[in-house]
């Protein structure tokens, strides 16, 4: 049986070797036939802590790694375009 893969956006990476990924999908209402977005969140295993918030990533299902982790990071598709913060200016004594 083939493993399921999904593409989503990293929303949190504050844990060690774990990130939270939000995956959006389009669902059609059964009665009114209008399409709308639903978001699911998945806890993923990120062995090297290379995910940053805002990254677009591909994940794959795997065996249970903990109570809530059942997905592994495959690759980072689009790194977030967040600019690194410039170093804080220190006031020179006059």
Looking at residue 52, what is its pLDDT?
94
Task: Using the predicted structure, report yes or no on whether residue 64 has a pLDDT greater than 80.
Answer: yes
Looking at residue 1, what is its pLDDT?
79
Strand-pair partners of 23:
40
Three-state DSSP class for 53? coil
CATH for 5-78 is 2.40.50.140
Task: Using the predicted structure, report yes or no on whether residue 65 has a pLDDT greater than 60.
Answer: yes
**Residue spans per domain, the chain:** 5-78
pTM value surpassing 0.75:
yes
Is residue 37 exposed (0-12), middle (13-18) or buried (19+ Cβ within 10 Å)? exposed
Residue that the structure tokens 């997905």 belong to: 71
């Amino acid at each position: 049986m083939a493993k399921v893969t999904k593409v989503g956006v990293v929303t949190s990476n504050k844990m060690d070797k774990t990130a939270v990924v939000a995956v959006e999908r389009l669902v059609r209402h059964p009665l009114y036939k209008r399409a709308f977005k639903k978001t699911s969140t998945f806890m993923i295993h990120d062995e090297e802590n290379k995910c940053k918030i805002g990254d677009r990533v591909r994940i794959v299902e795997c065996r249970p790694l903990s109570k809530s982790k059942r997905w592994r990071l495959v690759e980072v598709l689009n790194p977030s375009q967040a600019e690194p913060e410039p170093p804080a200016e220190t006031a020179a004594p006059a």
